[in-house]
């Protein structure tokens, strides 16, 4: 009878040890996803800076005019309106 109780308690320990492993895997996956998100934001920032530098180096008038046409001014106005609405709501 005692060996039977010992075997059943060791089986419970084996089954119970899966939870911490799954928890550790989930935490590691969350850390990896956070790192990839951070890396992606850094890459986007570097690409935006490179595009900005490329636009600023233009000396030819036709290139400058093309940059002006490619710039989305409509979204700038919408952004300013949303900022103004947020400031009005805060007051």
Q: Is the pLDDT of residue 19 over 70?
A: yes
As for how many domains the chain has, the answer is 2
Spatial distance between the Cα atoms of 68 and 80, rounded to a whole number of angstroms: 19
Spatial distance between the Cα atoms of 30 and 33, rounded to a whole number of angstroms: 5
Do the domain assignments include residue 32?
yes
Do the domain assignments include residue 64?
yes
Do the domain assignments include residue 10?
no
- Binning pLDDT at 50, 70 and 90, where does residue 91 land? confident
pTM of the predicted structure, to 2 decimals: 0.42
Q: Is the pLDDT of residue 6 over 60?
A: no
Spatial distance between the Cα atoms of 88 and 91, rounded to a whole number of angstroms: 5
- Domain enclosing residue 45, as ranges: 22-57
Res 29: pLDDT: 95
Do the domain assignments include residue 3?
no
């Amino acid at each position: 009878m005692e060996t039977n109780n010992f075997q059943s308690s060791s089986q419970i320990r084996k089954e119970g040890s899966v939870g911490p492993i799954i928890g550790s895997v989930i935490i590691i996956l969350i850390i990896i996803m956070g790192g990839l998100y951070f890396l992606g934001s850094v890459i986007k920032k570097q690409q935006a800076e490179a595009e900005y530098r490329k636009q600023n180096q233009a000396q030819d008038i036709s290139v400058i005019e093309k940059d002006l046409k490619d710039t989305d001014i409509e979204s700038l106005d919408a952004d300013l309106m949303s900022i103004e609405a947020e400031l009005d709501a805060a007051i």
